[in-house]
């Protein structure tokens, strides 16, 4: 897995194509997307252009996408990755993740990605079982639809629970919550951790923010360390 990748959340189609093009030209080979981001088709178009022109080889790319929250029911898992692969114009992805340990109600509309209740809250499914979802994920590896599988936004108890039944073994961590115990637990379980939103995702929509949340790039300690070493806050935080 390349150590640096391109995150694609909140990217519009035209912006996404430009970003992927710039990233590939700069040497990026790790691209992270998700069914819920609604930009897999734009990424797929750019990837195909580079693959067909011989600018990159498929084996040199590391493409990550994620299971839709409305597709957490085991019988939906394979269909979900097949929809993602069709949009990405790929035969397989290198890593497929359970995006969140939350199951939203599926109403038959694959475009209703984040169904809401009448009072504006996420409409969660009445029944869900992460272990059964994980077993369905493992079948994708056996089918060759993904090289590997993992989880995103899971806590330590959820990771450990999955590892009790996992054939293919798969968390929030940041400067304010370093999660040392989680790192140690994942190390013992043979689980690799990958970060996202490393700069705190300051541009995300308001519904994903808290009023008084800290801003890593503006943190006085981060800025002081950056100044001392002649670096930017982003370079220090990374």
**In whole angstroms, what is the distance from residue 100 CA to residue 5 CA?**
20
Instruction: Single out the catalytic residue among 28, 35, 37, 106.
Output: 37
Distance CA 89, CA 47 (A): 8
Q: For this structure, is 208 an active site residue?
A: no
Sequence-ordered list of residues with C-beta below 8 angstroms from that of 118, at least 6 positions apart, any chain = none
DSSP conformational letter for 171: -
Which pair of structure tokens corresponds to residue 140?
A: 């994708």
How far is CA 82 from its chain centroid?
A: 17
The closest alpha carbon to 62, from 144, 6, 15, 21, belongs to 6
Residues annotated as part of the active site: 37
């Amino acid at each position: 897995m390349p150590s640096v990748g391109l995150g694609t959340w909140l990217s519009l189609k035209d912006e996404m194509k430009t970003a992927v093009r710039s990233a590939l030209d700069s040497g990026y080979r790790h691209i992270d997307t998700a069914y819920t981001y609604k930009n897999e088709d734009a990424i797929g178009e750019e990837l195909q252009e580079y693959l067909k022109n011989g600018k990159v080889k498929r084996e040199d790319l590391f493409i990550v996408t994620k299971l839709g929250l409305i597709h957490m029911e085991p019988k939906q898992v394979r269909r979900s990755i097949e929809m993602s692969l069709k949009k990405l114009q790929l035969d397989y992805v290198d890593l497929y993740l359970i995006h969140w340990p939350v199951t939203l109600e599926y109403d038959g509309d694959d475009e209703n990605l984040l169904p809401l209740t009448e009072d504006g809250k996420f409409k969660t499914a009445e029944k869900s079982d992460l272990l059964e979802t994980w077993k369905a994920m493992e079948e994708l590896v056996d089918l060759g639809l993904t090289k590997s599988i993992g989880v995103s936004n899971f806590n330590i108890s959820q990771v450990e629970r999955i590892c009790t039944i996992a054939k293919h073994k798969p968390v929030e961590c940041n400067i304010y919550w370093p999660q040392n115990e989680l790192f140690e637990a994942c190390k013992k379980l043979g689980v690799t951790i990958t970060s996202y939103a490393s700069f705190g995702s300051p541009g995300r929509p308001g519904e994903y923010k808290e009023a008084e949340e800290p801003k890593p790039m503006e943190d006085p300690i981060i800025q002081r360390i950056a100044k001392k070493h002649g670096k930017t806050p982003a370079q220090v935080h990374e």
